[in-house]
Structure 1
Amino acid sequence: MLLVKTKLGISFIHGIGLFAAQFIPKNTVTWEYSPYFDTSYEEADVERMSPSAKEQFLKYAYFDNILCRYVLCFDDQRFINHCSESHNILSTVRRDVAAVDIYEEEELVCNYNCYDDTYFIRLGIQEITVTRTIQSS
């Protein structure tokens, strides 16, 4: 569940991105897993999906290795993009924290491999390495 104000916008990394709609100070928790808000699915649930539904689901879900289930964020957190080199969000399977001060209108980006090292393999895509400049104070 997102804990800061955000909005969606056009990403320079990929498609739609998640952007700050407020100033977010360093060390602020920006998102936290909530079993009452985010949904989780067993592998068998995913296997029963139609091919097109499964493809769409796996694009936005991540695998929680603590729950041993796929998690689909209910809110716009599912639009956070990946940047392996210069992310401004530190992620785990249960919580995201601002790594630096994040300014309004700045895209929130994380390293998917920090909480789901199977994402790119599952989707059969090559990880895109993007380097970006993060504003710092």
Structure 2
Amino acid sequence: MMLVPTYVAASDVEGVGVFAAEPIKKGALLWRYDPSFDRLVPATWLKEQTPMMREFLTKYAYPAHDQPEMLVIEIDNGRFMNHSLSPNTDFTKVVEGYASRDIAAGEELICNYSEFDPGFELLPSAVSAFAMRKKSRANGVAAH
């Protein structure tokens, strides 16, 4: 769960992201895994869902560090944190996330998903795919 004031807004990284609502000092604790707050669902549950729910879970859920058969779904703004290989956060402790440098108010909080999800694979950008379809339609080209 997020431990600093944040808001969700349009992101230059992907779709929407989570942004610092006030300055955050380097080393500040930003996020903590809290099983009484973060939603846990069985990983096998994914197969039973509709395609739309599977897409949502694939995008926003990740394996619980202490229960690999469970997925974590963050219910606060934390689920909107985007991925980068040059993050301004440090999630190497897995259950806690820290500011790896001073973060200005209005700056997007970015993490490296591989720090807490060893099997992480970057999904194709939904924003890019939508933009390409929109551009193709505007140019009279059918997109597939």
Q: TM-score range by the shorter chain?
A: 0.7 to 0.9
Q: 2:115 is matched by which residue type in structure 1? A: C
**Structure 2 gap ranges (5+):** 126-144
Deviations 1:27-52 (A, max 9, x none): 11101111111111112222211122
**Structure 1 gap ranges (5+):** 127-137
Q: 1:35 is matched by which residue type in structure 2? A: P
Counterparts of 1:87 and 1:44 in 2: how far apart (Å)? Answer: 31
Map 1:51-90 onto structure 2 (within 5 A). 51-68=51-68, 69-84=70-85, 86-90=86-90
Alpha carbon RMSD of aligned pairs, Å? Answer: 1.6
Deviation at 1:94, TM superposition (A): 1.3
Counterparts of 1:114 and 1:67 in 2: how far apart (Å)? Answer: 16
Counterparts of 1:44 and 1:59 in 2: how far apart (Å)? Answer: 16
Q: 1:71 is matched by which residue type in structure 2? A: V
Aligned length: 123
Runs (4+) of structure 1 exceeding 6 A deviation are: none
Contact 1:64 1:93 in 2 (8 A): no
The percentage of counterpart residues that share the same residue type is 35
Which residue is 2:5 aligned to?
5
Q: TM-score, normalised by structure 2?
A: 0.79
Counterparts of 1:82 and 1:44 in 2: how far apart (Å)? Answer: 25
Bigger mean CA deviation after superposition, 51-60 or 97-106: 51-60
Larger radius of gyration: 2
Bigger mean CA deviation after superposition, 64-73 or 103-112: 64-73
Which residue is 1:111 aligned to?
112
